[in-house]
C-alpha cells in the first residue's frame, strides 16, 4: 500500500498549525495533530503508533481532510440523549465522590452505580439508571475509588481492633481470602467478631 500524502503539504502544514493554536476542542486538536504529522512526512502507521490511534483511523482523518478540508476533522454531534445534568452539577457530583456515601447522607461505604443513582435522585431530582451512573463514575475517573475507600475502611477498622493485623497474618491463605471477601460485603464489626478479632 502506498503511503498517504497530502497535496500542497506546505500550505496544509501552515493551515493545520494555525488551526491547532485556535482550537479548544481536544478531539479536534488530536485529529489535526495526526493529519499534520502525515503532512510532515510520517506514515499513517507511525502516526497511529505515536498518538495511540488505529492506522485505519488516521487514514480516515487524512482522507476526510483531503476531501473536506478542516471541516472534515471537526467534531460532529454525537448520538444519544443530551445530558440531564449541567456541567456545574457534574462538578458537584465529582466533588461529592471524594467523600464516602455516608458523609453525603447516603447508606453504604462505597460509591457504586446504585448509590450514585440514589444520590443524584435525592440531590438533583434527576433519575439516572444504575448502568448510566456506573458509566458516569468511570467518566469522572473514579474507577479506583472503591478500592481506596475499602482500604481506608479496613485501616480504620484495624485501628479499632488492636492486635487484629497479627491475627489476620496468622490465618491460612484461604481463611484470609474469605475474611476479606466477607469484610467487603458486610458490616466490619460483625466480621471482626466472627473471626475472633475484636
Decide if 164 contacts 198 (C-beta within 8 A): yes
Give the angle 151-154-157 at the CA atoms, nearest 5°.
Answer: 150
The whole-angstrom separation of Cα 194 and Cα 154 is 16
Taking the whole predicted model, whether its pTM rises above 0.85 is answered as no
Summarised one tens digit per residue, pLDDT across range 52-95 is 889 999 999 999 999 999 999 987 776 766 667 887 888 888 88
Summarised one tens digit per residue, pLDDT across range 139-150 is 777 754 455 555
| Residues 6+ positions from 76 with CB-CB distance below 8 Å | none
Give me the residue spans of the domains in the chain. Answer: 9-72, 89-143, 150-194
Query: What is the mean pLDDT of the segment spanning 124-141?
Result: 86
Radius of gyration of the chain (CA): 26
Enter the C-alpha cell of residue 54: 488505529
Amino acid at each position: 500500500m502506498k503511503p498517504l500524502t497530502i497535496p500542497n503539504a506546505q500550505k496544509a502544514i501552515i493551515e493545520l498549525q494555525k488551526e491547532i493554536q485556535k482550537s479548544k476542542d481536544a478531539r479536534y486538536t488530536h485529529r489535526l495533530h495526526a493529519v499534520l504529522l502525515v503532512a510532515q512526512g510520517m506514515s499513517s502507521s507511525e502516526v497511529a503508533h505515536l498518538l495511540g490511534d488505529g492506522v485505519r483511523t488516521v487514514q480516515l482523518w487524512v482522507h476526510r481532510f483531503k476531501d473536506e478540508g478542516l471541516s472534515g476533522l471537526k467534531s460532529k454531534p454525537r448520538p444519544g440523549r443530551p445530558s440531564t445534568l449541567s456541567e456545574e452539577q457534574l462538578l458537584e457530583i465529582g466533588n461529592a465522590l471524594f467523600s464516602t456515601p455516608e458523609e453525603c447522607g447516603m447508606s453504604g461505604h462505597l460509591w457504586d452505580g446504585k448509590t450514585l443513582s440514589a444520590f443524584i435522585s435525592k440531590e438533583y431530582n434527576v433519575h439516572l439508571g444504575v448502568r448510566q451512573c456506573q458509566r458516569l463514575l468511570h467518566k469522572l475517573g473514579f474507577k479506583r475509588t472503591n478500592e481506596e475507600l475499602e482500604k481506608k475502611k479496613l485501616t480504620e477498622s484495624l485501628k479499632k481492633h488492636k492486635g487484629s493485623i497479627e491475627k489476620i497474618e496468622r490465618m491460612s491463605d484461604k481463611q484470609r481470602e474469605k475474611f476479606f471477601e466477607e469484610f467487603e460485603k458486610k458490616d466490619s464489626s460483625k466480621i471482626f467478631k466472627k473471626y475472633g478479632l475484636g
